[in-house]
Structure 1
Amino acid sequence: MIVTFLGTGTSQGIPVIGCHCEVCSSLDYRDKRLRTSIHIQVEDKSIIVDSGPDFRQQVLRERIERLDALLFTHQHKDHTAGMDDVRSFNFKQKMDMPVYGTQAVIEQLKQEFSYVFQPVKYPGIPRIQVNEIDLRPFKIGNVEIQPIEVMHYKLPVLGFRIGDFTYITDANYISREQIDKIKGTKVLVLNALQIDQHISHFNLAEALEMVEIIGPEMAYFTHISHKLGNHKKVSQSLPDNVQLAWDGLKISI
């Protein structure tokens, strides 16, 4: 399995419009963060988790020329806004794009992209195949995916486990029952928004505590805001088995 971080930023990305802080002004490429998303190449399947506003740019940057499925963690716009651009894959692959999400996600997509769901299809619009998921495992081809329910303040959000890899973003609480589903993961991706506490995201200290509880061999933090600090400085304070992810980072599992 090869996982590519398409974006590792929060809903505003980094740099933030109009901000001149140390992080937003940084010349380090690792401090330039698009909205959070990953690409997973596993067996013969190409899967993307979340299509935020930067989806087109991310796919072009990583030269992703085939997509077998699009998974959504939840219905917030920084995770769904780029779905329209799956039509390029429709044209190239001559197939409807399989899209996976909870009932709440699908309802939001129907509002945000109402033209996609009209009975009479306008020429050139995205063509998708909707697959509703819940907390039960499901398969894309031969790839089994275990959903993990986490809480984003009061909003349920899905993480996903594939084999020895677990991806969780937009969380500030994970129940013991769901932690048990993650245990044994070798590589964990987890959100770490900033230094100070936040109402709906793990801060750095809380993310590190969760890594201790779950005990992966390696953890990568994502969904990072400019309030966390710049990549170089924060990285110096992290344990050996924890890294800040950055846009374009590839890991093999």
Structure 2
Amino acid sequence: MPSASLKVTVLGSGTSMGVPTLGCPCRVCKSNDPHDKRLRPSLLISRGGQNVVIDTTPDFRQQALRVGLERLDAILLTHGHADHILGFDDIRPFNIRQRAALPVYSNEETFRIIRRIFAYVFDEKPTLSTVPSVTLNAVQSPFELLGTPFVPVPLLHGEMEVLGFRFGRAAYLTDFSKIPDSSMALLKGLDDLVLDALRDIPHPMHQTVEQALALIQRLQPRHAWFTHIAHDLPHSETNERLRRKGYPHVQLAYDGLEFEVQADPANEVSRECGDSQESRAAIAGARSTRLLVLSSSEAWASRYATFGHTGVLAIGNFDGVHLGHQAILRATVERALALKAVATALTFDPSPRKVLRPETAPPRLSSNAQRMEWFKLLGLEAVVVFPFTFDLARLSPVEFVEQILVRNLHVKAVLVGENFRFGHMQAGDVKLLSELGKTLGFNVEILPPVVYRGEVVSSTIIRREVAEGDVSHAARLLGRPFALTGEVVSGTGMGRRLAFPTLNLAAEQELLPARGVYITRACLEGKTCSHRSVTNVGTRPTFNGSALSVETHLLDAQLETAPQRMEVRFWSRLREEKKFSGPEELCAQIARDIGSANKFFSRLRRFRAIRQPV
């Protein structure tokens, strides 16, 4: 098979009850045509001896035996319904044979269901032979498998948020009733499309044949196959009907169907998915996304208003870009798509508080560069970064709206949190903003705060958690691990002399976690993967140190040369920093820390991300 191709095998093409359906006397269930024998829906994608499966159905063991599957490298889950996950336990033989945990990619709702149904998998003391060994990777952005980008495609299965997946020039979209407009941009330029077409009769959670054909008309793939097929559709007759209707390139999929897909390299994702604002918002995380950063509203006007563009604007400091901020920014992108406007964030650097009351200004959770990266990943097209000055602070609420929002930014809509204040002495509130919007011709949308387990998500709370060392809780509120970035600098060399070499980070962030030892992931400049690691934040008291340092020991790599830059993501705190009696006692403790970190990674069960996968 050409190295540029992926081999796709349909493992199952049936509906949730399979075909034949138990006890059903209909002609399809009684058919002798092998194409009418349909196991639950699943897909196998192969390249160069590596294999990825989409959905572990209740029939997974039978499906794997049918195709002689001897190796499995990753699992993608579309959602958490029984017909897509109940074969999860059958991955154990691959764990045992390959002596490794399998990465699983899906969304957080699916992982919540997985953790509940397969609670024993995430027990405190699993063993490789008794339960599946997995790492759960929540994804909202492209990730690489088999040497090609896999792009999660958000879909609606009734009211349930599920995922389809694009890989190369193909896409697999099962179990959906609607594709959000923001996801359509991800499906441009397809050669092959496998999609839900349950039956002819409408269903609240699935596509009918006619609805699927209408979607094919929009997307114009070269070939299309229907899957998740009920016993209403006989294989041969339905294919003939499709041919007579003028769709010779559209057929029912069947168990065992094989075809090849062009595997686009990573730099082709943007070109194939389009480079419009719509596609950037839908990808919501592709590194190919470009973000225009502007230093003033006048620059925005010069760049966009000349061409008749208007803006949908989110306003805020967005320090940390936590779950609450993300809700506002995602809503901004959605409104901009609907209004055919520019999705824009208006933010400030330095923060207003640092200018007006520097003695009370808190340390920032994120650097400006991190904020820009996260804005890009969320699908924004432009960011206006205002240098906050006393002149800006003197603008009255009305002047701020008229001069900046209306005259320069040409806003169609403004989205803010319910506690938003603006103008001189913070005299303006959301009520005044709404009134001004009605008068000046733009919509105002006020979003409620995001509440996590009874607690309002805020930058203040996250700063406190990080400062106290509770990075696990901070990660839940951020939607991803708290991260430090910066240059890798020379250290004392003590770690190497102790046989635990470290990379020393000169962090660019103002806020550091509390002194202690942490389980981390280290992302090295120029590398697409992250490394399991243990990080010490402290002063090295065993050696009477005084300067605060961030030192990271990689668990799964030995480097010939140190990278220039690094990002360290903090997942969990192991212990406080401690002064030991000497190097031997310290080394023994480091070995225990590494053992604890390896156990953590082997049974990893929590990770919330808006960013690239682990």
TM-score per shorter chain, which class?
over 0.9
Give the equivalent residue in structure 1 for 2:143: 138
Q: 1:103 aligns with which of 98, 108, 112?
A: 108
1:7-27: CA deviations, max 9, x gaps? 000100000011010110000
Q: 2:253 aligns with which of 245, 249, 252?
A: 245
Unaligned ranges ≥5, structure 2: 1-5, 262-614
- SS where residue 130 of structure 1 aligns? strand
Would the aligned equivalents of 2:57 and 2:86 in 1 still touch at CA under 8 Å? yes
Distance 1:158 1:42 in 2: 22
User: Superposition pairs for residues 75-90 of structure 1, below 5 Å?
Assistant: 75-90=80-95
Distance 1:117 1:13 in 2: 29
Give the equivalent residue in structure 2 for 1:63: 68
User: Superposition pairs for residues 24-173 of structure 1, below 5 Å?
Assistant: 24-43=29-48, 45-122=50-127, 123-134=129-140, 136-140=141-145, 142-173=147-178
Distance 1:223 1:206 in 2: 14
- SS where residue 189 of structure 1 aligns? strand
1:135-182: CA deviations, max 9, x gaps? x11123632111111111101110101110111000111122211110
Letter in 1 for 2:162: V
Distance 2:166 2:255 in 1: 21
1:73-120: CA deviations, max 9, x gaps? 001110000010110101111111111111111111111110110111
Distance 2:222 2:97 in 1: 38
93-102 or 217-226, larger mean C-alpha shift: 93-102
Cα shift at 1:31: 0.2
Structure 1 runs (4+) greater than 2 angstroms displaced: 42-45, 140-143
Is 1:193 aligned to residue 201 of structure 2?
no
- SS where residue 259 of structure 2 aligns? strand
- SS where residue 60 of structure 1 aligns? helix
Distance 1:160 1:44 in 2: 21
Give the equivalent residue in structure 1 for 2:212: 207
Letter in 2 for 1:243: Q
Distance 1:4 1:158 in 2: 19
Letter in 1 for 2:16: S
- SS where residue 237 of structure 1 aligns? helix
Provide closer, same or farther for how the CA distance between residues 141 and 194 of structure 1 changes in structure 2, counting only shifts above 3 A. Answer: closer
Unaligned ranges ≥5, structure 1: none
Cα shift at 1:43: 4.7
Give the equivalent residue in structure 1 for 2:26: 21
Would the aligned equivalents of 1:87 and 1:125 in 2 still touch at CA under 8 Å? yes
Distance 1:176 1:182 in 2: 11
Cα shift at 1:44: 5.0
- SS where residue 178 of structure 1 aligns? helix
Give the equivalent residue in structure 2 for 1:11: 16
- SS where residue 241 of structure 2 aligns? coil
More helix by share: 2
Letter in 2 for 1:131: N
Would the aligned equivalents of 1:43 and 1:143 in 2 still touch at CA under 8 Å? no
Higher RCO (C-alpha under 8 Å, 6+ residues apart): 1
TM-score between the two structures when normalised by the length of structure 2: 0.40
Would the aligned equivalents of 1:42 and 1:143 in 2 still touch at CA under 8 Å? no
- SS where residue 173 of structure 1 aligns? coil
Provide closer, same or farther for how the CA distance between residues 106 and 22 of structure 1 changes in structure 2, counting only shifts above 3 A. Answer: same
Distance 1:150 1:120 in 2: 36
